[in-house]
Every structure is written in C-alpha cells, then in structure tokens.
Copies of this chain bind each other. A is one copy, B any other.
Amino acid sequence: MKIERESSVALYVQIADRLARDIAEGRYKPFQRLPSEQSLMERFGVSRVTVREAIALLARQGLVVAKQGKGTFVGGPVVHHELQELRGFYDALVTKGHTPETRLLKFEPVQAPAPIELALGAAGREVMFLRRVYSLHGHPFALASAWLPPAAAQVSWDQASRHPIYSILEELLGLRVTRAEVSILARTAEAEEAELLALPERSPVLVMERVSYSAEGAALECSRFSIRPENYRFSLSVQGPLAITRKIQEVAPARPTSSASQHRRKK
C-alpha cells in the first residue's frame, strides 16, 4: 500500500494501516521497538504530528504500547481463539501458531464448590484442582483453573505439568470428551488473577468458562480461563440462514440523559 496524498482517507490513517500491516506480516515483531518518530517521518515523508496521530491510532487499536521514555513497542501477538471446533485451550493456541509457555501452579485434591461437585458427580468426595498460567514470550496472559473428577488423583504433578486438561482426561484417564458448553464473559480481575497476570488492579479480564461432557452426558471437567484482554479475541463464523428477524416491539422513550440529547440527531 502506497501513501496516497490525494486520497479521501486521512494520511495518518493510511500510515497506521501500513504499520499495522508491517506488524501483521512480522516486519515488526511482538514486543519489538517501533522505529523512531524521526525515521517514520522520513519513511513516509510526513510531519511529526501525522506520525504521532498514526501511532496514537495504533495504540487505541491495541497494536502498540507507548512506554514512557523508552519509545513505542509492538504489542503482544493478537490471539484469535476460534470457537468452532472442540479443542482444548492449549491446542486452540498452538493451532493458531502460538506456542505458549506454561507453568503449573497447583494440582491438588480440594473440596469443590457445591455446583461443581454436583456437576462432576463427586458429592462428598474431593476433586482435583489444577491451576496453570500461560505465557507468550515470557509475558503471562492467561490463568486456567480446572476441577477434574476424583479419578484424576492418580495423575502425577509431573504429568499434569506436561498434559493439557483434555489430554489428562483422554490420554491419562481414558475419558472421551465429546461436547463442551462454553460461556464467555468479562469482569474486573480478582486480586489473585491480577497478580498472576501482572495486571493493574481493577483491570478487565476476558473469561471463558467451560464444562466438558462425555458421550453419556457425564461432566468430565469444569474450567475457567481468565485472560488478559488486550490482545485476545474469541472468534466464530456463524452460518445462516438467518433464524428470524423481528421488529423492535416498542421504542422506549426512556429517561433522556444529557448525553442522549447531545447524540440525538439534529433535525
């Protein structure tokens, strides 16, 4: 893409698009420093203001991060976690070309919270709790917490550190996963999550909750993945036909707010 001075697209947007493509194509790698403002001014033949506007746009898009006194750095790789296929969390990342480093923090018998104990059919018995942190390029980005059936007590710490959850179930315990119910939500990070993910307090986290089932309908695991949200997105291709299209049943007059009237179209 050349920079087109006659285009209706603002110069800084064109430059941001060009730099975004450089990042996508690996010309600038995750966590690498971007060239200086001066060298970008020379490369594109534009003013410092335009370069700064382009970088500010990239920062808003989460592609670069400005570090006080150190320059602007490419953000972590953007992970597109596809939801279409039944796949473990680790596999979903590997499939997209990311090889996360992992560290097992806990693998121990616990008394599960009541709904999980019930789901796992382990009323009154202890289940195995696993906690693992995932990093990319040395930066932690996800925390997995999983409850596994009592049978998982036979799995060693060393095995648990080398096998993703689905691999523990299938390869070590001989349990076949055939379906998962997945929920995705967002909330403020809890203190422990914030610490393990190196997040500032009160940062948002993206959360995937999952319950996986056998063909017979028995729950085999309940897990929760808390994710640093800046470079992570779940994605899904939804095929039609469109189920229905309804008209909006009532347009609420609702309480007008000052902002609403500002945004309301002037007639």
Binding site for B on A (CB under 8 A): 8-9, 13-14, 17, 62, 80, 83-88, 90-91, 94-95, 99, 101-108, 111, 113-115, 117, 123-124, 131, 133, 135, 138, 140, 157, 161-164, 166-167, 170-171, 176-188, 192, 195-196, 202-206, 209, 229-230, 232-255, 257, 259-260, 263-265, 267
Residues of B within 8 A of A263 (CB): 105-106, 131, 196
Most buried by B among A236, A247, A251: A236
Q: Tell which of B86, B209, B235, B251 touches A183, judged by Cβ atoms closer than 8 Å.
A: B235
Q: Tell which of B84, B135, B251 touches A252, judged by Cβ atoms closer than 8 Å.
A: B135
Least Cβ–Cβ distance between A234 and chain B, in angstroms: 4
A103 touches B251 (CB 8 A): yes
Q: Tell which of B83, B101, B243 touches A87, judged by Cβ atoms closer than 8 Å.
A: B243
Which 4 residue pairs are nearest across A and B when measured between Cβ atoms?
A204-B204, A101-B252, A186-B186, A186-B206
Q: Tell which of B103, B135, B204, B238 touches A85, judged by Cβ atoms closer than 8 Å.
A: B238
Q: Tell which of B131, B179, B182 touches A235, judged by Cβ atoms closer than 8 Å.
A: B182
B17 touches A164 (CB 8 A): no
Expressed in whole angstroms, the Cα–Cα distance for A32 and B91 within the complex equals 44
Residues of B within 8 A of A157 (CB): 265, 267
Residues of B within 8 A of A205 (CB): 186, 204
Can you report 6 A-B residue pairs in the complex whose CB atoms are below 8 A from each other? A105-B264, A135-B254, A138-B255, A179-B238, A184-B235, A196-B260
What is the interface of chain A mostly: helix, strand, loop, or mixed? mixed
Minimum CB distance partner of A198 in chain B? B257
Q: Tell which of B99, B187, B249 touches A249, judged by Cβ atoms closer than 8 Å.
A: B99
Expressed in whole angstroms, the Cα–Cα distance for A171 and B157 within the complex equals 59
Residues of B within 8 A of A113 (CB): 13
Residues of B within 8 A of A185 (CB): 206, 229, 232-234
A171 touches B245 (CB 8 A): yes
Minimum CB distance partner of A78 in chain B? B185
Residues of B within 8 A of A206 (CB): 184-186
Residues of B within 8 A of A186 (CB): 186, 204-206, 229
Q: Tell which of B187, B239, B248 touches A179, judged by Cβ atoms closer than 8 Å.
A: B239
Residues of B within 8 A of A181 (CB): 235-238
B86 touches A259 (CB 8 A): no
Expressed in whole angstroms, the Cα–Cα distance for A255 and B140 within the complex equals 10
Most buried by B among A8, A113, A248: A248
